[in-house]
Structure 1
Amino acid sequence: MPASSGQAPDLPVDQFDVWCPVPLRLHPAGGSAIDEPARRWAIRHGLCSPDSVLAHTDVGEFIAAGMPFITTDAARAMTCYAYWTFAWDDALDTLPGGLGKAVALTSEANRVLYEPVTHPVPANHFLSSLREVRHQLESCLHPDGWNIMRSEHAHWSGGQLWKAALQQRSTPPGLGEYLRMRWVKAGCGVLAAFTAPGAGYPMSPAELYDPVVRAFSHTVLLPCTIFNDLASVFKERAAGQAHVNLVSVLAAEHDLSTTEALIKAGELYERLVALMLRLQQQLLSDPRPAVARYARELPQWVAANLHWTATSLRFLALNRAGTTAKITIPTITTRDTPLLTDATDLTPPPYPDLAWLWQHLAE
């Protein structure tokens, strides 16, 4: 995946050549039509200012490419929610009062999703805006879909605290803990939970959490987190947070140089994508219609993630003390075949927190 050198002594990469077997597809409404009302909503609620990086991150483009089959109302609601989660993620890094304050505010936020709307909400722009976006999400989801979504949000909020706790350590976590944290913190479960009900075909909990379906969901969304880490390490180095990144974790785990760790992360990405394609073929013939459709549609996140990472200010700029500094990340190009691995080699990697996924391949 990393190809050629010359970026900097510690990050010697000029280009990411990425295997993407999923064609990019946008929602019929278009990314800007989905993004603009959500962006205005986020500004109105004080989640970002009009001149901030977040306000120009094109979150709606990300949702439009990752979920091109959901309804337009669901896409706009999900984009408002995504703006909220990005603002929350950014705020936790600088929240006065440290981790204790973050835990308390997280508990208040989860209460907003679980308590009746008549209960009072403390005066806080995060809490008031979350209550409003809750109504938007509920209005476009089947009750079972909303209940699963709400549960996954609570799981995600715990992942945010997990990442914040790891940032307070002076050394990287082990690979196993990092992978467990990353799935939760990245909101992978939330995206998986929203895909079907947002498109009008709710999946039951038994279907969504079926072991093979869940393994498939991991093989779609974990590669997105891996590539996000590959691109984010450039920004995180500038912000002093790069020790909580897959590249740094792999380097510490195996005593690798940065370049070697980038390559190893790229290998994990490709092996997961190869497994995704095999599990997708299994599920496309599943007798449960919702499961088969989910297998067709969820992989759009792979293409969406690459597209958004290559173009969004979320990765290309760093906000620091009210100023915006440009971050140089490698050029991202896509290819039709793997670069670092053999797609037919379905041997599990030597990491228990990933190897379990390969157990769900059909004989």
Structure 2
Amino acid sequence: MSSPQPPPAAALPLFCPIPLVLHPAGVEEIDTAGVEWTINHGLIAPGSAMARSKTGLVAAAGVPFATTQAARVMCRYSYWAFAMDDHLDTLATDLPAAACLVAEANRVMYEPSTTPIPDLGSHPSALLTSLRDLRDQMIDCLGPDGLNMLRSANTHWLGGQLWKLAMWNRPTPPTVGEYLRMRWQKCGCETLAAFAAPGTGYPMSAAELYDPSVRAFTQALFLACTTINDLGSMTKEADTPEGAINICSALAAEHHLDPVSALYRAGELYERLVLLMTRLQAVLRNDPRPAVARYATELPQWLPATIHFSAASARYLTQLRPSSAPLPDLVVTDTPNWWDPGDTTPPPYPDIAWWWEHASTRTALYGSGNAGQPGSVQ
């Protein structure tokens, strides 16, 4: 199909059919709990850009139906993940050090609290001790089974961090397919998916979470979110090795596009992912498994959460980085701008094209009704 005419570069419309919902505890309360915890563990400095990043908005909007305790833990975990991500960026040219730190972090998640944490230097040690504290908090609000799924997802995320660092240190750019495979792992969104059910107080088995159709729904949603994150991160990563590898650079290299055309192609892919996610959500809401139906109803709150956080956080705002080229203003719309909703053709990347097959299969099995309502906050 022919894509609609792209809008002026001064405004970047983002298709988001999911309304923003905030946790009743409030962004400020959740964020304060996260900032204080992160400062107390020595991960960030008071008054720093990170301390003003409004990461509480991530939890308040991403898990608005979670218990208040779980929302606070999610906020703290998000601050920890940002600190870990930023520290690993500083090890871009020291892969052995990065691999050792990742291995130590994985060890913390799997070993008892009585196991000593080695002294690796002030910042790495703080990352490990704070992660142990987080793990203990997660047991309290997720339970042992919920923690088990989250620690597995956390390990997957850390492996993705090393994958991205390895890409920086090789001469050949990734294909779009490899980039998408790496990005799913590196984005850490699998931890958000694992957190969703136990953090909200309903049981969801590993078999349900890793059901292929549920997996396709989860990955379509979060890869749409990571596309937004890629665009927002371009300013803060412009002068780093990471700035050379993002969805736009991968699309430009594979399809021989100029930067502006690559940006529009990324917007087109984003809309295709969101449209697929909504198709899968509609059929999974009718799934006979109650946990799957509820998961499908509530998880897409991460889409407006990502958009609003990217537009409001000091982590991404370009006015805090005078040397950076400003990104277009983000404008939320309820209609697609680049892709026809009636065109359900999979994109030309086998790595994700299988998701579209599951959308067709599940529609045939369960239809496309809209059963299911968000849960209540505890």
Structure 1 length normalisation: TM-score?
0.93
- List alignment gaps of at least 5 residues for structure 2: 120-124, 365-378
Q: Counterparts of 2:57 and 2:68 in 1: how far apart (Å)?
A: 13
- Label 1:248 to 1:35 Cα distance change in 2 as closer, same or farther (>3 A): same
- Label 1:158 to 1:324 Cα distance change in 2 as closer, same or farther (>3 A): farther
**Which residue of structure 1 lines up, in the alignment, with residue 13 of structure 2?**
17
**Which residue of structure 1 lines up, in the alignment, with residue 77 of structure 2?**
81
**Which residue of structure 1 lines up, in the alignment, with residue 299 of structure 2?**
298
- Label 1:93 to 1:324 Cα distance change in 2 as closer, same or farther (>3 A): farther
- Is the partner of 1:47 in helix, strand or coil? coil
| Cα distance, 1:38 vs structure 2 | 1.2
Structure 2 matches for 1:103-122, cutoff 5 A?
Answer: 103-122=99-118
The reply on whether 1:163 has 2:150 as its aligned counterpart is: no
- Label 1:147 to 1:50 Cα distance change in 2 as closer, same or farther (>3 A): same
The reply on whether 1:53 has 2:49 as its aligned counterpart is: yes
- Is the partner of 1:141 in helix, strand or coil? helix
**Which residue of structure 2 lines up, in the alignment, with residue 259 of structure 1?**
260
Superposed CA offset, 1:208-266 (max 9, x none) = 00111111101211100111112222332243532210101100001000111111111
Which piece of structure 1 moves more, 35-44 or 163-172? 163-172
- Is the partner of 1:332 in helix, strand or coil? strand
Structure 2 counterpart of 1:3, one-letter code:
P
Superposed CA offset, 1:20-58 (max 9, x none) = 100011111011100102101111111111132111111
Q: Counterparts of 2:250 and 2:196 in 1: how far apart (Å)?
A: 30
**Which residue of structure 2 lines up, in the alignment, with residue 137 of structure 1?**
138
**Which residue of structure 2 lines up, in the alignment, with residue 72 of structure 1?**
68
The reply on whether 1:359 has 2:357 as its aligned counterpart is: yes
Structure 2 matches for 1:86-235, cutoff 5 A?
Answer: 86-95=82-91, 98-123=94-119, 124-235=125-236
Residues 39 and 80 in structure 1, CA contact (< 8 A), matched pair in contact too: yes
Considering Cα pairs closer than 8 Å and 6+ residues apart, tell me whether 1 or 2 has the greater RCO. 2
**Which residue of structure 2 lines up, in the alignment, with residue 344 of structure 1?**
342
- Label 1:90 to 1:271 Cα distance change in 2 as closer, same or farther (>3 A): same
Residues 232 and 316 in structure 2, CA contact (< 8 A), matched pair in contact too: yes
Match of 2:26 among 26, 30, 45: 30
Match of 1:3 among 7, 10, 21: 7
Q: Counterparts of 1:146 and 1:207 in 2: how far apart (Å)?
A: 16
| Cα distance, 1:327 vs structure 2 | 5.9
| Cα distance, 1:62 vs structure 2 | 1.0
Residues 174 and 249 in structure 1, CA contact (< 8 A), matched pair in contact too: yes
Which piece of structure 1 moves more, 224-233 or 65-74? 224-233
**Which residue of structure 1 lines up, in the alignment, with residue 285 of structure 2?**
284
- List alignment gaps of at least 5 residues for structure 1: 5-12
CA RMSD of aligned residues (A): 1.8
Q: Counterparts of 1:193 and 1:327 in 2: how far apart (Å)?
A: 36
**Which residue of structure 1 lines up, in the alignment, with residue 240 of structure 2?**
239
| Cα distance, 1:96 vs structure 2 | 8.9
- Label 1:341 to 1:222 Cα distance change in 2 as closer, same or farther (>3 A): same
- Label 1:250 to 1:324 Cα distance change in 2 as closer, same or farther (>3 A): same
**Which residue of structure 1 lines up, in the alignment, with residue 326 of structure 2?**
328
Q: Counterparts of 1:136 and 1:324 in 2: how far apart (Å)?
A: 39
Q: Counterparts of 2:341 and 2:329 in 1: how far apart (Å)?
A: 24
Which piece of structure 1 moves more, 234-243 or 249-258? 234-243
Aligned residue pairs total: 352
| Cα distance, 1:144 vs structure 2 | 1.4
Superposed CA offset, 1:283-336 (max 9, x none) = 1111111110001000001111111111111111599xxx98666221111111
Residues 92 and 168 in structure 2, CA contact (< 8 A), matched pair in contact too: no
Q: Counterparts of 1:273 and 1:96 in 2: how far apart (Å)?
A: 32
